Amino acid sequence: MMIYTSVRIQHIAYPVVYFPSNSYIVVCVPCGYRYELLQKQLFQLEEAEGGFDQFTRSYNTFGVHRLPDNRLFFKEWAPAAEALFLTGDFNGWDKFAHPYTKKEFGKWELILPPKHDKSPAVDHNTKLKVVVHTKEGERLYRISPWAKYVTREEKSVIYDWVHWDPPQPYIQIHPRPKKPTSLRIYEAHVGIASPEGKIASYTNFTNNVLPRIKDLGYNCIQLMAIMEHAYYASFGYQITSFFAASSRYGTPEELKQLLDAAHSMGIVVLLDVVHSHASKNTEDGLNAFDGSDSCFFHSPPRGEHKLWDSRLFNYSSWEVLRFLLSNLRWWMEEYRFDGFRFDGITSMLYHHHGIGKAGFSGDYSEYFGLQVDEDSLVYLMLANHILHTLYPDCITVAEDVSGMPALCRGVEEGGLGFDYRLAMAIPDKWIQILKELKDEDWDMGNIVHTLTNRRYGEKCIAYAESHDQALVGDKSLAFWLMDKEMYTNMSSTSPLTPIIDRGLQLHKMIRLLTHALGGEGYLNFIGNEFGHPEWLDFPREGNNQSYHYARRQFNLVAMDHLRYCQLYAFDRDMNRTEDKYGWLAAAPAFISATHQEDKVIVFDRANVLFIFNFHPSKSFQGYRVAVEVPGKYKIKLDSDEAQYGGHGRLDHNTEFFTEAQPFKGRSNSMQVNISFDSSKHNFLLQNVQTVHLFLVY
């Protein structure tokens, strides 16, 4: 239920939206003001452009397009330019032969008639450049901001604009899958998706990685570093060509084939989109396209990000809105992505970009003051409104560390309209306790608080680790747990050591606890499902351009004598079990126990009872646990099974029956065994933590 009214503040009437939620009410006056700003922007689009539908299809007119009679139409926005010319292979790189005609509002147009044989004047897969003449008399060579394909020769530093108009374009035939109710995301990078020390291809991903993702039970892929970036080691976060799929992995048609294959498997695909900033490159980027220090960006200093050494968009500019909103539409229409993960939202939302902020306290003055950049905030609302209106099953995920309220509420409520936000505090918590504490000293209550500390009614993507934790300078969970022995003791043909034993069990427990308790979606970074043994480091000067750490060693899983396959099997069955019972789509868990001395956590969600024993040495017989639904319970997933690298100490044929004895806030309870008597596995039990999952039978 929502209640709408209004209130006057400083003689201005603002709409107020009340969100009744359990026993409290949130009064959101600023959200109503933000909704008014969105409505104003939509009205202006309707008046000036005939609505957002045509406005967001501007990729059909800007850049280069082949008309039905094979004429080529070129259009650019370069408000500070004195003159524009087109040059390239088609005219022998003549710098003056083909001038653009100046139009209103900084637009420039050019039409090239077809050749004598009626074929287009510019052949498919040939190079082009825009020559920009500035008012200061400079002659600049630029790539069209709307370029659909750019490549770089092996020994070159600068990318080239390549005209992409294949005679037989790939036609996608599989429909988009419906939006999953339980979102299980496989975060992936095409270039590192191979055991070989090289840049892997779209085709490799289609043939070798997609079947693996399907087998693991993930129903969503988040593809990183697809938008073209000149510097590979930027991880795709310094974009140079926003409409071009990175050519280092293959052609646009091969990317389309990848998405089509994913859709045939029922997997949705999200694009990691970077609209928070852009590369400072000029010859192959947006920066200074028309020779000015602004164009797509604010003039310095507002238009520069000091820490990222990049340019910041001017979201109040009409043509910047056209460019960015059309960019989203392009990836949805041309490649048929199913949504986006928006990178760097915190930098967009605030004038301070989060720089110099040790952390956000959660005080509402941090989110509704003059430090908030209303232009970028309204852009995000506009983007979400348009995407969800045009594509009802579209999924948008926000990367925000600030905790902006209503980020994942509908724009009609004054929210920003995202479907999910990344629960970024969770991986930080796991890394913190792994760095600072022995596992016998972990605080059960503190861990549970971090996993459950989120706003009601705003969906979160929980994850124990993502690409951020895999990068060199940090460590993956597996590395934090087992790095001393991962290169020597991961073989099942050698005795199980305490470090490997402890690491295997905690790796499974951390991931399942995060999966079940941390949010309404779950994310895993490529390779971490099997405890990838090394960090991630792209080729750069600092490592002699080595690809050794810019790869994923999937070959380790295929070796049955290595314990990586056991972690892989647990991750697979964890996802498959969730797919069957749907706890991610259920209401938040009811936590009945966070026993610090016993190191036991018990909670139920979606009629599933989870019992975690983190104690390093104690097992429990007849341990009473709370449960709401009465009946008979059986074990459905047990991390201590031998196939997962455990010790098989629980009898899966055992049935557990509830008693009508209220306990810990639940209507019923029952007694369970958490591991067998420790005397039978004295050494191993001292170093092994087990987790057991019980489901209503």
Report which secondary-structure segment, H or E, holds 479.
helix 477-482
Point out the catalytic residue in the list 187, 319, 399, 400: 399
What residues form DSSP beta bridges with 12?
A: 9
Report which secondary-structure segment, H or E, holds 624.
strand 620-627
C-alpha distances (whole Å) from 384 to each of 285, 363, 391, 408 are 26, 25, 10, 10
Cβ–Cβ < 8 Å for 177, 263: yes
DSSP state of 418: -
Q: How far apart are CA 311 and CA 297, in angstroms?
A: 7
Active site residue 228: no
How big is the CA angle at 642 (ends 501 and 638), to the nearest 5 degrees? 90
Active site residue 343: yes
Q: Would you state the structure tokens that stand for residue 398, as one six-digit string?
A: 């926000």
CA 247 to chain CA centroid, Å, is 21
Point out the catalytic residue in the list 228, 290, 343, 641: 343
Which residue has 């646990």 as its token pair?
A: 625
Angle at which helix 444-452 crosses helix 425-436, to 10 degrees, equals: 160
Q: How many residues does the chain have?
A: 697
Q: How far apart are CA 224 and CA 206, in angstroms?
A: 15
Alpha carbon dihedral 239, 241, 244, 246, in 10-degree steps, equals -50
Cβ–Cβ < 8 Å for 298, 280: no
Q: How far apart are CA 172 and CA 337, in angstroms?
A: 12
Strand, coil or helix: 394: coil
Burial class of residue 370 (count of CB atoms within 10 Å of its CB; 0-12, 13-18, 19+):
exposed
Cβ–Cβ < 8 Å for 535, 470: yes
Strand, coil or helix: 657: strand
Nearest to 335 by CA among 149, 186, 180: 149
Active site residues: 343, 399
